[in-house]
Amino acid sequence: MFNLIPKIFKKSKFILYAQVIDKIFFFFLFLVIARTLATDDYGKIIIIFSISNILLTIMQFGLPVYFQRQTANEKNINRTEFNSSIIYGLASFVLSFAAILFITSVFYNIGQYLIVFLIHFFVFSFYFISVFNSILLGLNEQRIQVQSYGISRIMSLSLIFLVYFFIKNIDYYFAICSIGNILIIFILYNFILSRFISKDSKSEVKFEHIKSLIVLTLPLGLAAISNFLYDKIDVILISGIIDLEHVAYYNIAYGIYKASQISFSFILVAGYSRVSSLSKSNYAVKLFLKKYFITILILSGLIFVSLAIFSKLIIVLLYGEKYYSSILILQLLSLAVIPLALNNLTGITLNGLGMFRENLKVMISALFINILANIILLNALGILGAVYATIITEVYILVMGIIYLRLKLI
């Protein structure tokens, strides 16, 4: 049983390396921000970040998932679709920036337009990174991701630490982050262009091409939007029902909880390409599920125990006494790690089998359950209500995913 983990790790090691680099980067970035700002100001940053991520996910329309599946199946890149996705990304940034300015100023009374722009630019640059990464994952080219992430994140963190020790300016943090992401985009784009797209191939990009691409990826996009809204809506609801200070407490704990995904997410990223290539054989997919289920269960179980035991040490040592209220939140959130891990496995399997509509149904219903549970439980139990809503939703997604897969693979 345990010898499965080294075998899967060998296939996914470059994905793991890239994710470790990125998780370390974001961990230290938000650690520096949390130590720089008061809790309510930190809550404002989280709100801007959350809204920007929601807008990004809405604008992506499932394009990264689509490109990974297509390149895994076809082993080539459609240049027209590739160029259309880039042009669409540039246009959607302009629209989404106008939207976030309106939302943050009208609903949250945040008038610092520079920080809103810097955060949104940084977040939205991940549109291009995720599209390029998905293409490379489908083509089984992961080493370049490690190289680009390594160069960018080391440079960015070094500059951020210098700013933290000498200036402590939040604007500079996100300006540095944006420059780092631009570097990653430049490296990945040039690698794809030089290795996988012929200079002689023609591409005529029109509005109709962009429209057809969006229509094609719409089920994937709606599922991704529902999934991400479910992941971020609790922060929005906490800010409205309780206050921004509790957003900060919750986000610290939730960030650590989500960071624990690194123990299994790298396996699932590679697993999606694998199950896509096996999708024509139910027997092969069953073997895939059995092997990955055992591996994911072991890893997520270890993370659950670790978070439950060491929550206090992690919070106080890294973030300080002002975030003491995050300890119990993290301990309770650790209960959701195992269903979170397993429903990620069922989700990538549903998409790999082309069951986009089924996955969409699961995620949309989960979103409504999460919103309803948050509204009821936040009012009844306070901040811990958001934790229980998360646990309920993760278990629901897992159960529904298993039901759909059993019906498909019988």
- pLDDT, one tens digit per residue, over 68-109 is 777 877 777 777 778 888 888 888 899 999 999 999 999 888
8 A C-beta contact, residue 319 and residue 378: no
In angstroms, rounded to a whole number, what is the distance separating the alpha carbons of residues 344 and 300? 11
Tokens of 24: 């370390």
Helix extents (H) in 320-355: 326-333, 337-352
Of the candidates 231, 197, 241, the residue with the CA atom closest to the CA atom of residue 343:
231
Give percent of the chain above pLDDT 70. Answer: 86
Q: Cα 368 from chain centroid?
A: 20
Mean pLDDT to the nearest integer, 353-376: 87
User: According to the model, what pLDDT value does residue 156 have?
Assistant: 95
**How confident is the model at residue 310, as a pLDDT?**
92
Mean pLDDT of 5-13: 59
Cβ atoms of 81 and 273 closer than 8 Å: no
Across the range 277-304, mean pLDDT stands at 83
pLDDT at 1: 46
Q: Per-residue pLDDT averaged across 105-125, rounded? A: 91
Encoded tokens for 408: 């498909």
Contacts of 118 (CB under 8 A, 6+ apart): 171, 174, 175, 178
pLDDT digits (tens, 9 = 90+) for 257-282: 887 777 777 677 666 667 767 777 78
Q: What is the pLDDT of residue 232?
A: 73
Helix (H), strand (E) counts: the chain: 16, 0
Which pLDDT tens digit goes with each residue over 121-150? 999 999 999 889 888 887 877 788 888 999
Residue 367 CA from chain centroid, whole number: 16
> What pLDDT score does 125 carry?
93
Judged by phi (left if over 0) then psi (alpha if -120 to 50, else beta), residue 242 lies in alpha
Q: Quote the CA–CA distance of 151 and 77 in Å, as a whole number.
A: 26
Res. 114 pLDDT band, cuts 50 70 90? very high
Q: Which residues touch 305 (CB under 8 Å, ≥6 apart)?
A: none
| Residue 100: per-residue pLDDT | 93
Q: What is the pLDDT of residues 32-69, one digit of tens each?
A: 998 899 888 988 998 999 899 888 888 877 778 777 77
**Helix boundaries (H) for 125-203:** 126-138, 143-166, 170-195
Q: Which amino acid, one-letter code, is at 67?
A: F
* pTM of the shown model: 0.72
The answer to whether 44 and 108 have CB atoms below 8 angstroms apart is yes
